[in-house]
Amino acid sequence: MGTRRDFLKGVLASGAAATAGAVAVPAAARETRSRPPEALGLLYDGTLCVGCKACVAACKEANNNPAEFSTVDHLWDTPLDTSGYTFNLIKMYRNGTMDAKDQETNGYAFMKTSCMHCADPSCVSACPVSAMTKDPETGVVGYNPDKCIGCRYCVAACPFGIPKYQYDSPTGRIGKCELCRHRHKDGHYSACAEVCPTGATLFGRTEDLLAEAKRRIAMKPGELNRFPRGRLRPAQEKMLQGQPDGKGERKRKGWRHEPDQSYETPAGKYLQHVYGEKEYGGTQVLKLSGVNFEKLGMPNLPPDAAAAMSETIQHNLYGNLIMPFAVLGAMTWVAKRNVKPEDESSDKEGS
């Protein structure tokens, strides 16, 4: 006798503990994070891109990455996708007769593939050892191979398929664009933007880049407009540079001085969509295109980041370990009653 009563007690105690734990932790949802105010990024404008791949070559050089071959003769660096050794790639969309650029049917278009530097990155949330981090100021998503355990959860988590692993090496690393953060201290910015001849890839503060993107999609197609190249300098920075003391935004930010490289060209036919403005809570790399983004390999993403949902679940269950300890307390209490030291001697008596 007593078994049924104890059974019920056990059920009640563990149930009560679980409920207490659930109540003690406020069911707070972790909101999707937004970009830090000084976030740095890129604006890629597919209508300006000519597919020269200077950015691909510059990226390889800046990151000390080897060439990857996909042709028989092994003459040129010809990666077919980003990889552990290729962090930036221009991909081409082709349809039918390929008559005109930035045209969905019987046309072609270009798209840059590289890290989007999400406001709320899945890879950073996924990484168990903080090898993938987001800089609180610049928002750059950086990688630290000295912490990385090579679990590749970041590879699986990223909706853009960006972090890549070097499977051919016994000491393989994760490879991804870090916005050339290692060159920032010398006043250099992202190599891809530095070398882009048409300004299709532009470097700058994401806030400024977003304003520039909105300026562009409001343009009348074919109308002559001025487009910056290299690094986008906000109006405020130009003003400061013009001041008599010679000290201005340029010096404060530490970017190298370069002449104004802007030029005039007819505006392309833009889709009314700045990719990266809202996707997954926003990204620091923004994209413009004349052809549907999904056709160019950019996924259709909701405004909420998956990392927010994942961390909401994680912290509601384990926040401050309140729930685990509540359940452990209940289990210990019940087990203490049920696990009797003479248990063993009764075993001996048996048989």
* CA pair distance 208, 197, nearest whole angstrom: 20
Is 147 a binding residue for other proteins by CB under 8 A? The answer is: yes
Nearer to other proteins, 253 or 315 (CB): 315
Nearer to other proteins, 29 or 218 (CB): 29
* CA pair distance 98, 108, nearest whole angstrom: 5
Nearer to other proteins, 195 or 323 (CB): 323
Contact string (CB under 8 A) for other proteins, positions 127-146, x = contact: xxxxx-------------xx
CB of 124 to other proteins, least distance (A): 8
Options 37, 96, 150, 254; binder of other proteins; rule CB under 8 A: 150
Interhelix angle 322-338/3-24, nearest 10 degrees:
170
CB of 314 to other proteins, least distance (A): 6
Binders in 271-330 for other proteins, by CB under 8 A: 297, 299, 301-302, 305-307, 309-311, 313-315, 317-318, 324, 327-328
Q: What are phi and psi of 89, to 5 degrees?
A: -150, 145
Number of residues binding to other proteins, judged by CB under 8 A? 79
CB of 116 to other proteins, least distance (A): 14
Is 12 a binding residue for other proteins by CB under 8 A? The answer is: no
Retrieve residue 322's tokens: 């309140």
Nearer to other proteins, 254 or 302 (CB): 302
CB of 53 to other proteins, least distance (A): 19
Binders in 30-89 for other proteins, by CB under 8 A: 81, 83-84
CB of 307 to other proteins, least distance (A): 6
Contact string (CB under 8 A) for other proteins, positions 94-123, x = contact: ----------------------------x-
Is 15 a binding residue for other proteins by CB under 8 A? The answer is: no
* CA pair distance 217, 201, nearest whole angstrom: 16
Contact string (CB under 8 A) for other proteins, positions 159-198, x = contact: x-x--xxxxxxxxxx-------------------------
Is 341 a binding residue for other proteins by CB under 8 A? The answer is: yes
CB of 120 to other proteins, least distance (A): 11
CB of 173 to other proteins, least distance (A): 7
Residues in the chain: 351
Nearer to other proteins, 73 or 167 (CB): 167
Contact string (CB under 8 A) for other proteins, positions 228-267, x = contact: ----------------------------------------
CB of 98 to other proteins, least distance (A): 21
User: What residue has token string 């105010």?
Assistant: 37
Nearer to other proteins, 32 or 284 (CB): 32
CB of 155 to other proteins, least distance (A): 4
HEC sequence for the chain: CCHHHHHHHHHHHHHHHHHHHHHHCCCCCCCCCCCCCCCEEEEEECCCCCCCCHHHHHHHHHCCCCCCCCCCCCCCCCCCCCECCECCEEEEEECCCCCEECCCCCEEEEEEECCCCECCCHHHHHCCCCCEEECCCCCCEEECCCCCCCCCHHHHHCCCCCCEECCCCCCCCEECCCCCHHHHCCCCCCHHHHHCCCCCEEEEEHHHHHHHHHHHHCCCCCCEEEECCCECCCHHHHHHHCCCCCCCHHHHHCCCCCCCCCEEEECCCCCCCCECCCHHHCECEEEECCCCHHHHCCCCCCCCCHHHHHHHHHHHHHHHHHHHHHHHHHHHHHHHHHCCCCHHHHHHHCC
